[in-house]
Amino acid sequence: MNVIITGASRGIGYAIAQHFAKEGCRLLLCASNQVNLELAVNAIHKAYPKTEVLYYVANLSEVSEVKAFGAWCLQYGAPDILVNNAGKFEPGNCMDEAEGQMDAMMRINFYSAYHLTRALLPSMIQAGRGHIFNMCSIASLHAYPGGGSYSISKHALHGFSLNLRHELKTKGIKVTAVYPGAVFTDSWVGFDNSTGRIMEAEDIAALVVATSQLSPQATVEQLVVRPQLGDL
């Protein structure tokens, strides 16, 4: 089984990669930082030496690099699972955020998933199978202070997921949008999570893997996951 994961060097993407490695899937991983990605791949190899882990370094905010990564993936056959996880958070408000921030957020948080999915879909449709996971956010569902262009880009990914689900339901391809609340990743550096106030990346990874293992006739369209005490 071929599992493609973007933003796989740390955080939620890395946790998802670990969980699929445990299942013995072939991993095709991508991230923009070569050092971090190689460290992640080496750690997965060490933990699961029988799992095939391949990697590709790319800046997925650039369309040409997205398409190059997609072409690289296809040499290993049609994808079984695609996890569009690459993304970045920059706080701000629409009325005063830095010039160009909207473009930057849209390129990495939305267009990376849009262009990669379009590059891979013909092979998935021909195979008549596959499962696409789009890592949205609670910010995809409502506005919040400081959300700005980040929230808007995640709203776009939410809309993309809804449309993909509608278009692909007769093609044998599942689409699941994942909407995590606060997860203890690099976005929360410096936050004291000793009390377990916010979720762990492994929580999201476990749900993604479990969702991928349902029968062909069952699809989880949306996964909304929040900390037990609610959003911060």
The string of pLDDT tens digits covering residues 171-199 is: 999 999 999 999 988 778 788 898 989 99
Query: How would residue 9 be classed by pLDDT, with cut points 50, 70 and 90?
Result: very high
**pTM of the model as a whole:** 0.96
Strands, E assignment, 191-230: 222-225
Residues 6+ apart with CB under 8 A from 87: 7, 108, 109, 112, 135, 154
- The dihedral sign for the CA sequence 108, 109, 115, 116: positive
Bridging pattern class, strands 131-135 and 222-225:
unpaired
Q: What is the pLDDT averaged over residues 35-64? A: 97
Q: What angle do CA 15, 19, 21 make, to 5 degrees?
A: 115
Mean pLDDT over all residues of the chain? Answer: 96
CB atoms within 10 A of CB 187: 13
Distance of CA 228 to the CA centre of its chain: 22
| Catalytically annotated residues | 150
Listed by start position, the domains of the chain span 2-225
pLDDT of amino acid 131: 98
pLDDT tens profile 97-137: 999 999 999 999 999 999 999 999 999 999 999 999 999 99
Distance CA 80, CA 8 (A): 17
> Residue 99 carries which side chain, given as an amino acid letter?
E
pLDDT (0 to 100) of residue 232: 83
Residue 194 has a pLDDT of 87
Q: At 27, which amino acid appears?
A: L
Q: What is the CATH number of domain 2-225?
A: 3.40.50.720
DSSP secondary structure code for residue 146 in this structure = T
pLDDT tens digits along 59-86: 999 999 999 999 999 999 999 999 999 9
pLDDT number for residue 172: 97
Asked if pLDDT for residue 27 goes beyond 90, the answer is yes
Residue 29 to residue 14: CA distance in whole angstroms: 9
Q: Cβ contacts of residue 62 below 8 Å, gap of 6+?
A: 107
